[in-house]
Amino acid sequence: MRIHHLNCITACPLGGHLMDGQRGGALTRAQLCCHCLLLETSDGLVLVDTGYGLRDVHDPHNRLSPFFLRLMAPALREEMTALRQIERLGLDPLDVRHIVLTHLDFDHAGGLDDFPQARVHMLRAERDDAVAQASWLDRQRYRPQQWGYQRRWQVYEGNEGEPWFGFRCVRALSGLPPEVLLVPLPGHTLGHAGVAVQTGGRWLLLTGDAYFHHGEMHRDRPWCPPGLRLYQTVMEKDRRARLENQQRLRELRNRSEAAVTVFCAHDRQEFELLAGRAIEAPAMPATPATPPGPPTPAGRP
């Protein structure tokens, strides 16, 4: 299985280092990536989250909430959508057979309509809570305008599955290879999940919004930029579950014997380390090695 790391549009909220821990003062735009995965499997392509989609780029005011458009100020560049990056890699977007969602927030599910042929996998609690639109905040974060093809959604119970590295009810998904697992991580939303992918004897665990900054995974002194910590608190659906899952992730990340690379959706440092490129750069096909030229005859340069 080949894995590509995609940043499917960067959010640029005001706050600088108070939001991303890296950039300037409070009036500076921070940079929060939207880390998605593209898996090349023997049976087609699999997306883990979609980020923002083409329609979000072209018609943001009808697709996205005015509140989050102003707050997060996404850099809506078409070339950073999952569909365009798949094309850039020389792959066919029609080969995306499955999409696995960590959750249905607008910045994780905006590209669903770009792949109408794909089956979409998520926890039942996430689907039910998003569709209910029970509160003002729910109506801002969950955008039915992004969900044109719900008939291809497949949902799973959050209380079924097997133990996996200290997490309960972890399960394989219908039609996907056994190297792809759904890991319930409720808290940020009621049906929030991580997605684990095994490759080369090691696991990658995309935790979605279970945490937002790599400092939260520090063994002894976990920390998060204050603006980002406030955002997490405002957006959480179940604080106790969110903090308990963060602690489990912290323990997993710091267990040297656990062959699991843990990373979240919005941390620039984690993305650039795993992708090997800046978050502003779209995915690029691998450059083939230059074949050696003919041998130079002796005595000639």
- Residues spanned by the domain of 34: 2-275
Residues 248, 259: Cα–Cα separation, whole Å? 15
Q: How far apart are the first and last CA of the chain?
A: 43
Q: Under the phi-then-psi rule, with left for phi > 0, alpha for psi from -120 to 50, and beta for the rest, what region is 278?
A: beta
Arithmetic mean of pLDDT, 130-136: 97
Yes or no: say if 70 and 7 are a contact pair by the CB < 8 Å rule: no
Arithmetic mean of pLDDT, 27-45: 95
Does residue 288 lie within any of the structural domains?
no
Does residue 281 lie within any of the structural domains?
no
Query: What was the pLDDT predicted at 295?
Result: 42
Q: For strands 119-123 and 153-156, give the pairing.
A: parallel
Residues 270, 250: Cα–Cα separation, whole Å? 15
Does residue 290 lie within any of the structural domains?
no
Does residue 300 lie within any of the structural domains?
no
Does residue 280 lie within any of the structural domains?
no
Residues 228, 211: Cα–Cα separation, whole Å? 10
pLDDT digits (tens, 9 = 90+) for 160-206: 999 999 999 999 999 999 999 999 999 999 999 999 999 988 999 99
Averaged pLDDT score across all residues of the chain? 93
3-state secondary structure of 242: helix
Asked if the model's pLDDT at residue 25 lies above 70, the reply is: yes
pLDDT digits (tens, 9 = 90+) for 239-286: 999 999 999 999 999 886 779 999 999 999 999 999 999 999 999 887
Which positions ≥6 away from 160 have C-beta within 8 Å?
169, 171
Which positions ≥6 away from 301 have C-beta within 8 Å?
none
Arithmetic mean of pLDDT, 69-77: 97
Does residue 106 lie within any of the structural domains?
yes
Does residue 301 lie within any of the structural domains?
no
Does residue 231 lie within any of the structural domains?
yes
Domain count along the chain? 1
Arithmetic mean of pLDDT, 71-77: 98
Of 40, 18, 20, the residue nearest 32 (C-alpha): 20
In this structure, which amino acid lies at residue 155? Answer: V
Which CATH number covers residue 125? 3.60.15.10
Which positions ≥6 away from 159 have C-beta within 8 Å?
169
Arithmetic mean of pLDDT, 18-35: 91
Q: For strands 96-100 and 162-164, give the pairing.
A: unpaired
Max CA pair span of the chain: 81
